[in-house]
Copies of this chain bind each other. A is one copy, B any other.
Amino acid sequence: MNNISLSAFTEMYKNLLEEELKKNVETLGAPTNLKDSMLYSLNAGGKRIRPLLLFATIHAYGKDPLKGLLPATAIEMIHTYSLIHDDLPSMDDDDLRRGLPTNHKVYGEATAILAGDALLTYSFQLMTNMTEQNIPAEIIITTISLLAEAAGAEGMVGGQVADIEGENKVLNQRELEQIHLHKTGKLLEVSITIGAILAGATSTEIKTLKQFAYHLGLAFQIRDDILDLEGDEAIIGKPVGSDMDNDKSTYPKILTMDGAKRELDVHIKQAKDHLAGLHLDSALLEAITDLIADRNN
């Protein structure tokens, strides 16, 4: 188990996560159309990078990653709700997501908004189910608080508002970073933090893991901006250059494409340096970092 490859680890835990996502929604006593809309976006695939980070962090401490199955599922539900709402006509107005029609294109705007609301709400119910795993109540409450903070006005939602406000404005690198640290960084970070808390990490270790998460989050976004220009449309599942058309500030625009690639390398190196300082069994976290640097979708 300790020398498991990232692909074997991903295969195993991605399947368990996807089962858990499905099972929880299918058994809800709720209107069929709402459940279908929730499942549509949950089942639309994706890298499941947040759950994998959570599982891999627990694994780095030699603990059973399944201890984090419920928060990993909750975080993926929050990520999914954010994509549904971001795609809406009044936000990014996207018709395609991962090569499939976006939720509101299939279920209509009202149901898409409500499916997002239901996923967000249910994620907190899932967190409370950790009591069934004999996780101490105080720890469960701490993780719920951190998750709400990362997902809300001071985290992801605030980042989305800042992102919208930044459209059609020329942002400098610092402003762009602040947006992404909130819009995508906070949820990546909390996946790692919750994994660490469940694994019994010290507060010093958690601080270092947050530094790791900081650089990982920025690397993730820089790679996203690069892919938007150099990616294969069939693989990224949306038109190439759509950010450029939008007049959106991106790393390649601010730093040039070469500059963006150098910046990506810097953050990947710094992420790995923080990780190495921890002396954990962090091969999987390192492999996920490489994956983020090299991903093609």
Binding site for B on A (CB under 8 A): 25, 28-31, 33-35, 38, 81, 85, 88, 90-91, 108-111, 113-114, 116-118, 120-122, 124-125, 127-129, 131, 136-138, 140-142, 144-145, 148-149, 151-154, 157-158, 160-162, 164-165
Query: When the two chains form the complex, which single residue of B118, B127, B131 contacts A158, counting CB atoms closer than 8 Å?
Result: B118
Tell me if B109 and A90 are in contact (CB < 8 A): yes
Query: When the two chains form the complex, which single residue of B131, B142, B161 contacts A114, counting CB atoms closer than 8 Å?
Result: B161
Query: When the two chains form the complex, which single residue of B34, B121, B141 contacts A161, counting CB atoms closer than 8 Å?
Result: B34
Smallest Cβ-Cβ distance to A38: which chain B residue: B153
Please give, as numbers and ranges, the residues of chain B lying within 8 Å of A28 by CB-CB distance: 153-154
Task: Report how far A148 CA is from B147 CA in the complex, Å.
Answer: 14
Given A118-B157, A122-B152: 5 more A-B contacts, CB < 8 Å: A30-B153, A110-B164, A121-B148, A125-B148, A131-B141
Tell me if A157 and B33 are in contact (CB < 8 A): no
**Can you list 9 A-B contacts (CB < 8 A)?**
A81-B117, A90-B109, A91-B110, A111-B161, A114-B161, A117-B117, A121-B151, A128-B148, A137-B140
Tell me if A113 and B140 are in contact (CB < 8 A): no
Smallest Cβ-Cβ distance to A35: which chain B residue: B153
CB distance from A212 to the nearest CB of B (A): 23
State how many copies of this chain the complex holds. 2
Please give, as numbers and ranges, the residues of chain B lying within 8 Å of A81 by CB-CB distance: 117
Please give, as numbers and ranges, the residues of chain B lying within 8 Å of A113 by CB-CB distance: 85, 88, 90-91, 113
Closest 8 CB pairs of A and B: A137-B137, A90-B109, A121-B152, A125-B148, A30-B153, A128-B145, A118-B153, A30-B158
Tell me if B33 and A161 are in contact (CB < 8 A): yes
Please give, as numbers and ranges, the residues of chain B lying within 8 Å of A152 by CB-CB distance: 117-118, 121-122, 125
Task: Report how far A25 CA is from B129 CA in the complex, Å.
Answer: 28
Smallest Cβ-Cβ distance to A125: which chain B residue: B148
Tell me if B122 and A33 are in contact (CB < 8 A): no
Please give, as numbers and ranges, the residues of chain B lying within 8 Å of A25 by CB-CB distance: 153
Tell me if A160 and B124 are in contact (CB < 8 A): no
Given contacts A113-B85, A137-B137, contact A145 B157 (CB under 8 A): no
Query: When the two chains form the complex, which single residue of B118, B144, B153, B164 contacts A144, counting CB atoms closer than 8 Å?
Result: B144
Tell me if B162 and A148 are in contact (CB < 8 A): no
CB distance from A185 to the nearest CB of B (A): 14
CB distance from A165 to the nearest CB of B (A): 7
Please give, as numbers and ranges, the residues of chain B lying within 8 Å of A91 by CB-CB distance: 110, 113
CB distance from A30 to the nearest CB of B (A): 4
Tell me if B157 and A34 are in contact (CB < 8 A): yes
Given contacts A141-B140, A153-B34, contact A148 B124 (CB under 8 A): yes
